[in-house]
Chains A and B, each alone.
Chain A
Amino acid sequence: MKNVIKIERARLNLTQQDLADMVNVSRQTINSIETQRYIPSTVLALKISKVFNKTINEIFELEESD
């Protein structure tokens, strides 16, 4: 599952740690999501989308392999 978290973070000038603190997870979890090593739960995906004030579909996108 592709995502644009890194781009959105840069837009809001947030570090991985800032975003991690905002959604109550570890920095490693944010990094793992950005690098597509970990697929977040629906709740976490919604929380991340809310931080960026976007819909979940604007942040996450399904790939052919999903």
Chain B
Amino acid sequence: MNEENKIILLPNTFKKVGIIIIVLTAIIFFILVFIDTNFNQEQKNIYRMIFNNLWIISLCFIAFSKDKIEDERSISIRLRTFNGAFLFGVLMFIISPIMDIIFNDPISYVSGQYIIGVILLFYIFTYNYTMRKERKEINNEERN
């Protein structure tokens, strides 16, 4: 692949590492929620920050790790879906306070971590959906 067409991606194994971190984080989170831990507010904030960061890091690992065969077409699909995901995040940031006004709720702005999480989730979903859809279409064409 031409150097100029390359984007920064992690090795394929990082996808599995990301999934393992998400599962472990979710298990630990639910254990802490259901066990009476008696944490004070400062401790709660620290744990919230750790969980949020682990969540973002694991989503980044899943989103930005290479496929088994990474070529210029998959990079083109990555760029297209990331563009869509970024626009979705921006729209969400703009629409969220407007919805608060419409429903007479106190105006609140969504946090950066929340927006980044939404963008990454939207990107992971649309990228994998597009790749799977195209693979399915190709397989169907071959059968016909």
- Please say whether chains A and B are actual partners in one complex: yes
Interface Cβ pair total, 8 Å cutoff: 35
CB of B135 closer than 8 Å to a CB of A: yes
Instruction: Contact check, B2 vs A29: say whether CB atoms are below 8 A apart.
Output: no
If the complex has contacts A41-B2, A41-B5, A43-B2, are A32 and B141 also in contact, measured as CB distance less than 8 A?
A: no
Q: How far is the CA of A43 from the CA of B71 in the complex (A)?
A: 12
CB of A65 closer than 8 Å to a CB of B: no
Chain B residues within CB distance 8 Å of chain A = 1-2, 5, 69, 71-74, 76, 134-135, 138, 141
Q: Does more than half of chain B's interface fall in helix, strand or loop, or is it mixed? A: helix
Instruction: Contact check, B138 vs A28: say whether CB atoms are below 8 A apart.
Output: yes
Output the residue of A28, A31, A37 with the most chain B CB within 10 A.
A28
Chain A residues within CB distance 8 Å of chain B = 24-29, 31-32, 35, 37-38, 40-41, 43-44
Instruction: Contact check, B71 vs A32: say whether CB atoms are below 8 A apart.
Output: no
- Selected from A25, A27, A35, the residue in CB contact (under 8 A) with B72 is A25
Residues in B neighbouring A38, C-beta threshold 8 A: 73, 76
Instruction: Contact check, A31 vs B141: say whether CB atoms are below 8 A apart.
Output: yes
Instruction: Contact check, A29 vs B135: say whether CB atoms are below 8 A apart.
Output: no
- Selected from A24, A26, A44, the residue in CB contact (under 8 A) with B74 is A26
